[in-house]
Structure 1
Amino acid sequence: MDQKNFFYLHCVLRLAIIILVAEILAMLLFDITGITASLSQLAEAVLDGVLLVVLSAYPLYLFVYKPILKSFKRDQQQIEMLAEALQGAGESVIITRPNGEIIYVNQAFSDVTGYSQQEAIGNNPNMLQSGKQDRHFYERMWASINNKGQWKGELWNRRKNGELYPEALDVRSIPGEDGSTKFLVGVFSDLTEQKRVENALLQTQKLEAVGTLVGGVAHNFNNLLAAISGKAYVAQVKAKKASAPEAVIENLDDIQTLSFDASHLVKQLLAFARESQHDKEKVSLTRAVREAVTTAQIGIPEDVEVKLDLSSEPMTIWADQTHIKQAIINLINNARDAVKNCPTKAIHVRLYPTASENCGNSNACHIHCKNVATLEIKDTGTGINSSDLDKIFEPFFTTKEVGQGTGLGLSTAHGIITSHNGSIHVSSTFSRGTSFKICLPLVESNKTEQSPPPIKPVPLRHSGTILVADDAMEVRKTVASVLASFGHNVIQANDGIDAIEKFYAHQHEISLVISDIVMPRMDGVDSVLEMRKSYPELPVIFMTGYDAPKEKTRKVLDNETSMLLNKPFKTDELSKLVNKLINKNG
């Protein structure tokens, strides 16, 4: 017996006892007064009833009616509390009859589905069906409800406005006294945000995997480019000596140029596909914007017009060049996606200097320097809803369809700009386009921007014997050929251990070591450290196909006898470093 039934049984016993005691008191009163002797039987019964009511009324109120009333009010309050809690619950709740007729939905249900309580009650849950689950799915669901009294899982449903959304649903059968289903209760959660975050994290993991893949490919690819550019140089030297046609020499020069362009693309992939450390320096913003637009255009369809309007005035900023380019590319990619389905597809990139007092966003800007560079990226896209403008820089927020974006592009751009003491502002008109305006503080400079002068070979004053260590045979042979054309003797080694053996065999002849960093059996850094045990001031040029491996080379690059050369490298750069180190030791 539960507590509620025990309470009512207790009240019944109280009622019986009170009536019994009242009856006994009435009978005693009749006997004492003898009043019943002169009354008729009917009158005696009426008088007995009146006395019974009078004697039991207050005890009944105090010990029966009042406790029952108190219990009823407590139950009523609990029911009201549960009803309010159910109505205000964060999870959507739907209650139906066994035949599927909806008899209750809470406010969260209306918020998620778009159907009001009046529209839902009396309807059937199949009004939410998306069509993404087949008949067998629902057959398995109802089989579980009928056999186990419960079904729990994920499915896709459709809101009132036609939008599909994922939900986690838990349906339970509530049995009646006879064991049959009295009604069904369903509790579900909208998984839209959760799926968006999961997809964004999955996309981030994919990018990390791509970064790892690109890192491995870059080493081998840069080795090939180094060999191609080196062989083109050697062939060019021989062609000039043989008085080959000018067209041949020009083609060989083009091969070298294309090799370095390909290498630059690999570096861009490395920068955008994985985390890397970069140093800030004086950067020509005009050149950085032009190069970022060129890189971004690789992924822009030909039917999208890209207008570039760059001021001729010099604009120099203190920045991490790779990160600034990444921010610009992210914004251009965002504009590319915005114009995708628009009749007019155009992206306008404009760069110009501005005095801070003339800036239209000065009231909302934290930049207080005298001069700033303003970069505007406008598109003719669909625009952004005013309700979303405050959220667009939040990580993982995106208005794109599921799988079309990570929600990290704009937040990454915002973080990069603010880390450079800049500001970024957005304005948008729905269906007419969006404009991002970036302001960056300028570094005071009186020099006119110009392309850096080409590196000229340092005149050769000493020749020497150089040990070249690289596991890539074509790179090793090409570097050896280039060095031989400079007048040096070359000893070749195919890995770190072979380099150590060759070094000790020719220790007194070798004046310079040129070594790849990543090699089998023993890498270049450990190999050089072993050589320097007997020759501490041994000059070394490290070659690498990776992007600035500082963590590995830090312990050997912190001195003036160690240099780093990224593959592929220009022969002029190699000549300059070789002559610098040999002349220092010569």
Structure 2
Amino acid sequence: MTLPHDGPVVQQMRLHGFNVAADYEPVRDILRDLRLPPYTEIPGYYWSYLWEDYRWYIVIGVVVVLVILLLVVRLRLANRGLQESETRYRTLVQNIPGATYRCNNDRDWSMSFISSEIESITGYATADFLNNSVRSYASIIHPDDQAMVKQRVAEGIEKCQPFAMEYRILNSRGEIRWVYEKGQAVFNDTGEVKWLNGTIMDHTREKELEDELIEARKMASLGTLVGGIAHEFNNTLAGMTGQLYLAKKEVHVPAVTKRLEAIEGLSFKVAGMIKQLLAFAHKDLVQMRSVSLSSCVKEALKLNSVVTPPRAIFRQDISSDELIVSGDQVQLQQVVINLIRNACDAVADIDGGEISVLLDFFEADETFLARNEGATAHGFAHLRVSDNGVGIAEEDMDKVFDPFFTTKAIGKGTGLGLSMVYGAVKGHGGIIEINSELGSGTQVHIYIPLHGEKGSEAEQQQSTEIVQGAGETILLVDDNLSFLETNRDIIASMNYRVLTADNGVKACELFREKQHKIDLVITDLVMPLMGGVEAAAVFRSIQPDVKIVFATGYDRNESLLQGEKMSGETIIFKPFEIEKMSAVIHHQLHH
């Protein structure tokens, strides 16, 4: 029987076998009193009874609680380890050069993951490529390279091997960038492709350096070839011009003299072409001095006035400031001449042709310096030659500076004009940029760093008269017998005594024998047995104050550049004008 207000005492009594009547009044009174504190607490023997009857339940409960606590701890440790692993993975991915990716092997290679480095490579946001939400990576691969990329990936999957390739992409600005990609397919248990993993790296700079290396090797090979040609040609031309000079002295028939002068002019024109080749191949020993680019341009404009097409409009805007650069005056004039002649050829067959020549000061800004990484100067002399002629096709733009490349008709050009310009500008530490569009014309921009003060006008002027000697003795040394004999007669005609030797060894023996009679030595640089520089060292060991002139067609071994120039030494390049040679001889003997 259960009382409506059974308390702990009644419950204990029943547990011990006592039967308590529900209507038992004394019990009710007792129960009423026992429901009040402090009798509500269950006595200690109650717990022992519970342990005896329910201990397994208690043990199991405690075990369950401990297991739950253990699982919670392990779960927290696992989460912490996962976070650390994710951090390490994220750090690893962020520090891998290039963009890492995971994509599906579908038509567009849908990206399920790609690292943020893709933004610096392509210019597009990373999110644009995830699941092809905005664009697919395949869509920015250059159209000409897409077939090759797909083929390389397919071959790698088929052979279960990594694939690697270099190709072009179009970035967000429409510019071509070179990338190098390496990846590998991941297969499931049935041999099907689950996804592709790989990296994409920007190789644009490496490609540029590779192209520069190839260009440098081409230039080295061309320079070696051109150097050999220059030496032989210039020696031969020097002999020809010398013979022509002697012939003009002996022939007094005006018509014949005119023809001889024409041949002489052609000889110097050939020498100019050799100089262009040397300039392009960076093999020309230029005579650098402070010169006014403004004067060079004005002089070149005078020389080109006769070749301007009669229907063309010619405009010039030459700065009134003296833009002083460190350079070779002859080369700089040749640069301007070649650019203007190219512009004239471009407008020769069109109506309303216009040619514009501008020279002004240019201060480099951040954009210019970023576009031309090698530029260090900020002040430049800026030359722009532009025309509205036929222009240059886009596919030919990469070849315009190649030697012998020309878009002109056969017989209209040699293909050396722009290549010579390129070599000369680079030799002056300058920058050249060309913009052209087929049918719209061409603009060529040249930037030469400003430098120093202008050289004296006296230095730049060339003598036009033969300076006679006073019977001084000159030792002439050259292994080219034709040049040796011809110039012996020419120098003798200037009232000098001439001794000759056809190599450096003989010259040293002759100098040792007649050192007190020899006033000046004129020697070639490149000779068998002993070159001119080595012979000059012997001359100076015998007579320290000897005057020496180096006459050379080409310093093949750059021997003049390898040592210090001594006082009393000068250089003259073959073929030379006889008037200039006489002035050099006179200057060396009397200064």
TM range (shorter): 0.5 to 0.7
Aligned partner of 1:520 among 528, 547, 550: 528
Contact 2:524 2:551 in 1 (8 A): yes
The yes-or-no answer on 1:215 pairing with 2:227 is yes
- Match of 1:150? 161
Deviation by residue 1:7-30 (Cα, 9 ceiling, x = unmatched): xxxxxxxxxxxxxxxxxxxxxx99
- Match of 2:185? 173
Q: Return the offset for 1:518.
A: 1.4
Deviation by residue 1:443-492 (Cα, 9 ceiling, x = unmatched): 699x999983633223443265x442211122112112213433555443
The yes-or-no answer on 1:573 pairing with 2:580 is yes
Q: Return the offset for 1:403.
A: 6.7
Aligned CA-pair RMSD: 6.0
- Match of 1:495? 503
Distance 1:381 1:414, change over 3 A: farther
The 5-angstrom pairing of residues 387-536 of structure 1 reads 416=429, 452=461, 454-462=463-471, 464=473, 466-503=474-511, 512-531=520-539, 533-535=541-543
> What amino acid maps onto 1:174 in structure 2?
V
Contact 1:150 1:170 in 2 (8 A): no
- Match of 1:309? 316
Provide the C-alpha distance between the structure 2 equivalents of 1:410 and 1:520, rounded to a whole number of angstroms.
30
> What amino acid maps onto 1:112 in structure 2?
T
> What amino acid maps onto 1:322 in structure 2?
D
Structure 1 gap segments, 5+ residues each? 1-28, 38-43, 365-371, 383-398, 419-423
The yes-or-no answer on 1:116 pairing with 2:134 is no
Provide the C-alpha distance between the structure 1 equivalents of 2:211 and 2:311, rounded to a whole number of angstroms.
28
Contact 1:328 1:413 in 2 (8 A): no
Distance 1:320 1:487, change over 3 A: same
- Match of 1:322? 328
Provide the C-alpha distance between the structure 1 equivalents of 2:282 and 2:180, rounded to a whole number of angstroms.
34
Q: Return the offset for 1:128.
A: 4.8
Contact 2:293 2:324 in 1 (8 A): no
Q: SS of 2:328's equivalent?
A: helix
Q: SS of 1:320's equivalent?
A: strand
- Match of 1:66? 73
Contact 1:112 1:190 in 2 (8 A): no
Provide the C-alpha distance between the structure 2 equivalents of 1:414 and 1:514, rounded to a whole number of angstroms.
28
The 5-angstrom pairing of residues 282-297 of structure 1 reads 283-290=291-298
Q: SS of 1:119's equivalent?
A: coil
TM-score by length of 1: 0.63
Q: Return the offset for 1:236.
A: 0.1
Contact 1:518 1:544 in 2 (8 A): yes
Contact 1:347 1:377 in 2 (8 A): no
Aligned partner of 2:247 among 214, 224, 235: 235
Contact 2:178 2:204 in 1 (8 A): yes
Q: SS of 2:132's equivalent?
A: helix
Distance 1:76 1:332, change over 3 A: farther
- Match of 1:259? 267
Contact 1:525 1:552 in 2 (8 A): no
The 5-angstrom pairing of residues 367-382 of structure 1 reads 377=384, 379=386
Provide the C-alpha distance between the structure 2 equivalents of 1:426 and 1:323, rounded to a whole number of angstroms.
23
- Match of 1:546? 554
Paired residue total: 495
Q: SS of 2:201's equivalent?
A: strand
Provide the C-alpha distance between the structure 1 equivalents of 2:138 and 2:527, rounded to a whole number of angstroms.
65
Contact 1:306 1:349 in 2 (8 A): no
- Match of 1:225? 237
Worse overlay, 198-207 or 71-80: 71-80
Q: SS of 1:169's equivalent?
A: strand
Q: SS of 1:256's equivalent?
A: helix
Q: Percent identity?
A: 21
Structure 2 gap segments, 5+ residues each? 1-44, 368-378, 390-394, 403-420
Deviation by residue 1:139-171 (Cα, 9 ceiling, x = unmatched): 775455454x43232243655989875432222
- Match of 1:78? 85
Contact 1:289 1:325 in 2 (8 A): no
Worse overlay, 328-337 or 94-103: 328-337
Q: Return the offset for 1:411.
A: 14
Contact 2:478 2:503 in 1 (8 A): yes
Contact 1:541 1:565 in 2 (8 A): yes
Contact 1:105 1:121 in 2 (8 A): no
> What amino acid maps onto 2:202 in structure 1?
D
Contact 2:480 2:502 in 1 (8 A): yes
Contact 1:230 1:478 in 2 (8 A): yes
Contact 1:113 1:158 in 2 (8 A): no
> What amino acid maps onto 2:69 in structure 1?
L
Q: Return the offset for 1:224.
A: 2.0
Deviation by residue 1:342-373 (Cα, 9 ceiling, x = unmatched): x9986522347x9xxxx9999x9xxxxxxx99
